[in-house]
Amino acid sequence: MTPTSAHQGPASTQAGDQTTESSTPLRVGLLGCGVVGSQVARMILSGADDVRARVGRPVELAGIAVAHPDRPRARLPQDLFTADAQALVARDDIDIIIEVIGGIEPAYHLIMSAIEHGSSVVTANKALLAAHGHEIYAAADAHGVDVYYEAAVAGAIPIVRPLRESLVGDEIRRVMGIVNGTTNYILDKMTTEGVGFDRALAEAQRLGFAESDPTADVEGFDAAAKAAILASLAFHTRIRGSQVYREGITDITPEDIRAARGMGCVIKLLAICEMEPEGVSARVHPALVPEDHPLGVIRGANNAIFVEAREAGHLMFMGPGAGGSPTASAIMGDLVTVARNRTRGVAGPPQSIFGDVPVAGIGTVHTRFHLSIQVRDQPGILSQVASVFARHGVSLQTVQQSALEGASKEDGWSASLRMVVHRTRESDFEACLAELSQSPIVNGDPRFIRVEGM
């Protein structure tokens, strides 16, 4: 389908009309002008000649909607600003809307209004796409316009378009990655410097890697939204953020970090999307990853995504996953693509073609686990623990017993068991945990973390 707005039609095939078309500017409306939005605005204004050369016609910034239009903003013309976002998206002379305000509302209604008025959309809003992406894609297809969102997942790393276009003819088997720079920085700090979570978080906030309210990052909400987008693309189905299993990193301790190092591993917050026999599984949680795994070497606030495909094999995408400049770079890439499509009078590939694939719950997932429990240091304890695993069909890969630091024989609980189990179904492992938690030979709740990449 072709764009349906009155101000944009298919490019003419006549030489004279082509000359007229190429000199007619494409006009862009920008929703939001924070760290990312201001960078995008400056890139459009300062790089006008380069963008024109890449698109084949001028691209102009026609308006910027913000909450406080009278606030001075360096190097941006004041007459571009407006407080009326709805009026901006409804303007007949707007061809493309860029949305960087974030959140669900009013972003959802503004984007839908822009589409209904014939504008293509570029957005970085992963929370919105995880919640309402499929409604937005269907509306865009119905109106013959584009919705591009490379910046919504992993900043400047090109992952959305490879999954959406380059690998669409292949069979994706698994997507696993570090998609939140804040948590990777915190875990890296805990690993390299031996500090606790609170201190590492404070340092991340001081450097601007974490928000004053870091909940969305450290509790895994941000990564879960990105996992929903990745799973939807990889497996051509509808996955919402609320369907992604989620755990954060707030319970990770220096002891966990040391235990990982003793196994030659590091701890990463991973987003994992894969096809299980019961359907598509999408999950976010901390995991032990071997130090020499491609994801194990990712340091600081960087992101990385590991893709396994039937024919293409193993692919790795890595780089800065957040920040004004990387995110703005991804937005500008989408803007150029959308502008080229508008110039040709076409839209990109449709996105509302999905299969009816069920979503598999976390209990169906098969993975490895590292388990730590406190037990009494007496004969027969290890065999009693092993019998619990055997009853539930869970196989032990390694077992290490050591004296519990700071404990004494008089305390009764003087030994620590650390075990790695072979790849097993999560529900079976949970049954083991439930029995161990009630056992008189175990002190307190067992601690566990999943193991990936081994």
355: left (phi over 0), alpha (psi -120 to 50) or beta: beta
CA distance 63 to 83: 10
Q: Is 268 a catalytic residue?
A: no
β-sheet bridge partners, residue 443 = 374
Please name which of 300, 314, 226 lies closest in space to residue 268, comparing C-alpha atoms: 300
Segments in 66-116 forming alpha helices (H): 85-89, 107-116
Backbone angles phi, psi at 298, to 5 degrees: -75, 120
For residue 319 the two structure tokens come to 């780089």
What are the C-alpha distances in Å from 444 to residues 165, 240, 436, 451? Answer: 50, 35, 9, 22
d(CA 118, CA 113): 9
SS3 305: strand
Work out the number of other CB atoms within 10 angstroms of the CB of residue 129.
28
Single-letter amino acid code for the residue at 46: S
Binding region for L-homoserine: 211
Give the residue ranges of the annotated binding site: 31-38, 126, 211
Q: Cis omega (within 30 of 0) on the bond before 294?
A: no
**3-class secondary structure, 253:** coil
Say if residues 321 and 159 touch (Cβ distance below 8 Å): no
Using alpha carbons, select from 47, 56, 34, 315 the residue that is nearest to residue 163: 315
Catalytic residue, candidates 189, 226, 268, 409: 226
Cα–Cα distances (Å) from 53 to 21, 325, 339, 345, in that order, read 14, 22, 12, 18
Binding residues for NADPH, by number, are 126
Active site residues: 226
